[in-house]
Amino acid sequence: MFKTSFQIKILTHSDDFKSYKSSLTFFHFNKRSKLFKSQFLNLTIVFDLYNFIRKYYINSIIYKSGYNPVNTATWLILLLISVILIYKFIRKRVKIDRKFVLSTLCYIIFGSFLRITEDSGIVKPPFSYLLMSPMIFFLVFALAFPLLLLSLKILKDNYWKLYSAIPAIGTLLIFLVLLCKLKPVNWWVAPLSFILAFASLCAYIILVNFLPKLNSMAEFLNKLAFFSGMLDAWASFIALSYFSYSEIHVIPRILVSMLGPYVLPIVKAVVFFFAIYVINKAVSDEHEANFLKLILIVFGLGPGLRNCLRVSFGV
């Protein structure tokens, strides 16, 4: 009786052990399975993120496919943040007046000439990627910002002499390289673009001087900003109308596909005129207004001059 009872008890314990062992094995398997699924999910997210970045950011640079809605929105957000931070920093250190704007103009011209070295293939990948938008803006800023601080420290109020001299020399050297490497096959494009931009500026001056409410828009930096925008518009118009170039920006690309290249000078004139009007009316601080006008000049003169040079050299 005792023996039988013991055997039954042993069997009972043995079954419990097997059941426990089975449960433990299932627990470890299930735990490993969940860990694998978690790791797989993380890996999938990484690959999806990489494909997203490659599709909307990297490919547009490597294959020169132009801007898309995603990277356009991203660059606009970065631009807004950068503009605010830069303004807050330099406002405490330098007067943002005509002297500052004209000195900074040298960097815009330098950036446009530097961009052509990539368009023409003089600078090869991967270094050429740094000379494409939007990286070239960061590259030029990385040169201009420390030079501004250095110039202020050395020359004080006469900072503009050193600050503007270095990009001016750099532009001259790049221009000489371009003349040695390239031939201006469409030499008439740049002069014609400037003539048309100047004609547009004359119309602007007549309008703002004729209407008393717009007289404040006749100030020099306002006129320079409008001229810059129209230079970009007319250079783009010529490139799209008479040569095999295509628009790379999202909204202008849509407008050109719907209405043709003729729409660009009209839209640019309205946009820049309205932007200048708003700045003059809504921004009371002179330094802040001048800084915003400088932003308009950068995004007008920069691509405008680059387009003139690119089409002129046929690259």
Q: What is the pLDDT along the chain (315 residues), one digit of tens a residue?
A: 333 433 333 334 444 444 544 444 444 545 556 555 666 567 788 788 888 888 888 888 888 888 999 999 999 999 899 999 999 999 989 999 999 999 999 999 999 999 999 999 999 998 999 999 889 999 999 999 999 999 999 999 999 999 999 999 999 999 999 999 999 999 999 999 999 999 999 999 999 999 999 999 999 999 999 999 999 999 999 999 999 899 989 999 999 999 999 999 999 999 999 999 999 999 999 999 999 999 999 999 999 999 999 999 999
What pLDDT sits at residue 207? 96
Instruction: Using alpha carbons, list the distances in angstroms from residue 40 to 43, 51, 54, 216.
Output: 5, 16, 21, 63
- pTM of the entire predicted model: 0.85
What pLDDT sits at residue 292? 96
Other CB atoms closer than 10 Å to residue 16's CB: what's the count?
10
- Specify the DSSP class assigned to residue 243: S
Alpha helices in the chain (DSSP H): 2-53, 59-62, 69-90, 98-119, 135-155, 159-181, 189-210, 220-242, 250-259, 263-282, 286-313
What pLDDT sits at residue 314? 94
Cβ-based burial of 21 (10 A; exposed 0-12, middle 13-18, buried ≥19): exposed
> How far apart, in Å, do the first and last CA atoms of the chain sit?
104
Question: Cα(186)–Cα(311) distance, rounded to whole angstroms?
Answer: 7
Question: Cα(279)–Cα(285) distance, rounded to whole angstroms?
Answer: 10
What pLDDT sits at residue 45? 81
CB 219 within 8 A of CB 238: no
Question: Cα(108)–Cα(63) distance, rounded to whole angstroms?
Answer: 25
Those residues with Cβ within 8 angstroms of residue 37's Cβ, 6 or more apart along the chain or in another chain: none
What pLDDT sits at residue 11? 39
Amino acid letter for position 10: I
What pLDDT sits at residue 64? 83
Q: Nearest Cα to 297, choosing from 221, 238, 235, 239?
A: 221
